[in-house]
Chains A and B, each alone.
Chain A
Amino acid sequence: MPTFSHVLQRAYAECPDRVAIHLLQNRQEDAPITYRALLSGGAGYARALQAAGVGAGDVVIVIVQHSAELMVAFWGAVLHGAVPAIMPFLTEKLAPERYRQDLTALIETTRPAAIVTYPEFAGEISGALSALSVQTKRPPLVVSADVSACEPDFDGLGGLERAPDDIVLLQHSSGTTGLQKGVALSHRAVFSQLDHYARAIHLTQDDVVVSWLPLYHDMGLIASFIMPILTRVPLVLLSPFDWVRAPYKLLHAITRYRGTLAWLPNFAYNFCAQKIRDRDLAGIDLSSVRALINCSEPTYWASHQAFLGRYAQYGLRAEALTTCYAMAENVFAVTQAGIDAPVTVDEIDQRGLLIERVARPPTDGVSGMKLLTAGRPLPNVQVRVVEDTASIDGQHHDLPDRAIGEIALRSDCMLTGYYNRPDITSKAFDDGWYLTGDLGYLASGELYVTGRKKDLIIVGGKNVYPQDLERLAGEVPGVHPGRVVAFGVLNADAGTEDVVVVAEVDTTDEIERDAIGDAVRRYVTQSSDVALRVVRIVEPRWLLKTSSGKIAHAANRDKYLAENQTPEVTP
């Protein structure tokens, strides 16, 4: 079995002048990046890492803005035989001191040998280093993200010495909690995923992948970066920051490059359907699109309908709307639907789902909920739906078709472990099966994802741990630490969850309460880069706690929804 570096070496030898990435830049010409440019740039980084004394298997954190430099630095770490982990760059909204705390958490867990960043950003890094609670044996070196390219001497590069079971990269989700849970993936696991997933979606070199996703996200990193580059499928990339302000740019990119594949979180379908002006759609042609793959947050039938309603007139075919269920722990995809046959829509009874926990057809005269299948498991992945609490014998027993339980999976492309966290790694598995924390059911061999057992919030495809938001809100003067709850509530219009924070305060003065609410909103947003949609200030003893005194997320969410009389409406 080859490693990443072997595949890159072959590409360098066989097609150095082929464009690997068309990088779209705001108000500038598109920048084509050939395999030669990508790998000679990478070789420059490998040399710099070598000079810095970074060894094979050492972690290298890359903190660079979405740019060619980020991509080159990533492959440079791979070529050197190091283990890259991409951390989001500090945005203008985020408070630098909070960013430093997150970085400290990341460094403490991953113990990197080097951090690649801009010279002018080195101050932030040293701030984070000085806050390390445990003095690491050797603090990471800061390597400047501005190195010159050089001809790669593959035989001299550490990357070719790596074994298939060595770790090739780390993926993190956001926030203090997510940054302490680095998903460590081996060369073998990634290749197995790419091999099976590429076949499942019939990927060929005639495809063109278009993406606006950030590279610190599994869907951006694996499906929309590593896979096309290693399989020599042309890739068109735009910046997430440009896309969010001008979503039409994705459609223009598809039109210009005859894009065939794009992975999008569900909210992007609503966003593109609602927030683009007709005049920005002049000349758009989506007839080249083979599959838009809805993935990384709950998928909604209504989102697909809204998107199709707007874009069928621009050549979008209904069959191009597909779905996928994926997670970083499985490298990426677990299932895929809509490639060989249209996405199945299962109409089920809402009461059956919520109360009886069975997905059955709606009773006569009652309209059901339309659920999109997530599809069939990849051939190398086994999926079970099991009791979400262990039985008296300690086992999670299988449930029959259409019964709702926890989704468990086993595959040959699972994570090696959460990096340096054997404690949480062992907890995540039950007898070799990875318990996803997601709820769903199986019907005729297809998987349907209906909700989550864990308290995780997924907003715009980004995983957010409520505990991080609650800790932050508890730091705001006037709010009692430990008397805050954060949860997600579906916003059907946006096609994703809104983040709600409910905080107990003592004061009954309306003006003071508003001021505290504002402070919570400002502080949490600046500290976590998660925008709060609703901040609700309540009186003491509003919050429900478990018998052990912990905040009960689901119960408080239900109480909030009941009080606001906005029951969750599933489209």
Chain B
Amino acid sequence: MTTEIRTALAQYIAKEILQQPKRVIAPDAPLISSGLIDSFHLVDLGLFVEDKFGVRIDDAELNKETFDTIEQLTAIIVERQ
């Protein structure tokens, strides 16, 4: 399950946010603190997570303190599912 979530997140970020579909994103690669994902796309990521996994990420949680990597975001999703 964890692997599937990680893969889905990595694919979404590579394809929709970075526009590099073939791009591989490591589970521990920083996303927000590295500037890979900006504020506008964080909102997109929040909507994607809710649609795909039925887990709501509150707007106040869209920051690097809550999650900065695919690994951390996956943990939040698993915990709330």
Interface residues of A (CB under 8 A from B): 26-27, 92-93, 241, 244-247, 271, 275, 277, 460, 494, 514, 518, 521-522, 524-526, 531, 533-534
Judging by beta carbons under 8 Å apart, are B39 and A244 in contact?
yes
A-B CB proximity, top 8 nearest: A525-B35, A531-B38, A246-B59, A245-B59, A244-B39, A522-B35, A245-B62, A522-B34
Docked CA distance A534–B34 (Å): 15
Contact partner of B39 (CB less than 8 A), chosen from A245, A277, A524, is A245
Nearest residue, chain B, Cβ from A271: B40
B19 engages A531 (CB within 8 Å): no
The verdict on B23 contacting chain A, using a C-beta distance below 8 Å, is yes
Q: Which residues of A are found within 8 Å of B15, using beta-carbon distances?
A: none
0/1 string, B34-67, CB within 8 A of A gives 1: 1110111111100100100000000110111000
Identify which of A518, A524, A525, A531 contacts B40 (C-beta below 8 A): A531
Bound Cα distance from A557 to B73, whole angstroms? 36
In Å, the complex CA distance between A328 and B43 comes to: 30
Specify which of A92, A244, A277, A533 is in contact with B64 (CB 8 Å cutoff): A92
Q: How far is the CA of A526 from the CA of B43 in the complex (A)?
A: 19
Residue count of chain B within 8 Å CB distance of chain A: 21
Contact across chains for A26 and B60 when beta carbons are under 8 A apart: yes
Collect the chain B residues with CB atoms within 8 Å of residue A534's CB. Answer: 19
B34 → chain A, closest Cβ, in Å?
A: 5
- List B contacts of A525 (CB < 8 A): 35, 38
Q: Could you show 19 A-B contacts with beta carbons less than 8 Å apart?
A: A27-B60, A92-B63, A92-B64, A93-B38, A245-B42, A245-B43, A246-B60, A247-B43, A275-B47, A277-B50, A460-B40, A494-B40, A518-B34, A522-B35, A524-B35, A525-B35, A531-B38, A533-B19, A534-B19
| Contact digits for B19-34, partner A, Cβ 8 Å, 1 yes 0 no | 1000100000000111
Provide the residues of chain A in CB contact with B32, threshold 8 Å: 93
User: CA A251 – CA B30 in complex, angstroms?
Assistant: 33
In the bound complex, how far is the Cα of B65 from the Cα of A245, in angstroms?
14
For B43, list chain A residues within 8 Å (CB): 244-245, 247, 271, 275
Interface centre among A245, A247, A271, A525 (most CB of B within 10 A): A245
In the bound complex, residues from chain B placing their C-beta under 8 Å from that of A521 are: 35-36
Could you say which residues of chain B place their CB within 8 Å of the CB of A247? 43
Which single member of B35, B40, B50 contacts A93 (CB below 8 Å)? B35
Extra contacts, 8 of them, besides A525-B38, A526-B35 (Cβ < 8 A), are: A26-B60, A246-B59, A271-B40, A271-B43, A277-B47, A460-B40, A522-B36, A525-B35
Closest Cβ–Cβ distance, residue B18 to chain A (whole Å)? 8
Among residues of A, the one whose C-beta sits closest to the C-beta of B36 is A521
What's the least CB distance linking A524 to chain B, in Å? Answer: 8
**What is the bound-complex CA distance between A494 and B44, given in angstroms?**
12
CA of A441 to CA of B63 in the docked complex: distance in angstroms? 44
Report A-chain residues with C-beta under 8 Å of the C-beta of B64: 92
Hey, which chain A residues are within 8 Å of B23, CB to CB?
514
Q: Are A275 and B59 in contact (CB under 8 A)?
A: no
CB contacts (< 8 Å) of A277 on chain B: these are: 47, 50
A309 to B6, CA, bound (A): 35
> What is the CB-to-nearest-CB distance from B49 to chain A, in angstroms, rounded to a whole number?
13
Closest to A514 in B: B23
Q: How far is the CA of A92 from the CA of B32 in the complex (A)?
A: 10
Q: How far is the CA of A26 from the CA of B44 in the complex (A)?
A: 21
Task: Verify A531–B35 contact, CB threshold 8 A.
Answer: yes
Chain B min CB distance to A468 (Å)? 15
Give, as a whole number of angstroms, the nearest-CB distance from A512 to chain B. Answer: 14
Query: Whole-angstrom distance from the CB of B21 to the nearest CB of chain A?
Result: 13
CA distance A92 to B59 in the complex (A): 17
- Contact among B34, B35, B50, B60 with A245 in the assembled complex (CB-CB below 8 Å): B60
Which A residues lie within 8 Å of B35 (CB)? 93, 521-522, 524-526, 531
Chain A minimum-CB-distance residue to B65: A92
Closest to B24 in A: A514
B19 contacts across to A, CB distance below 8 A: 533-534
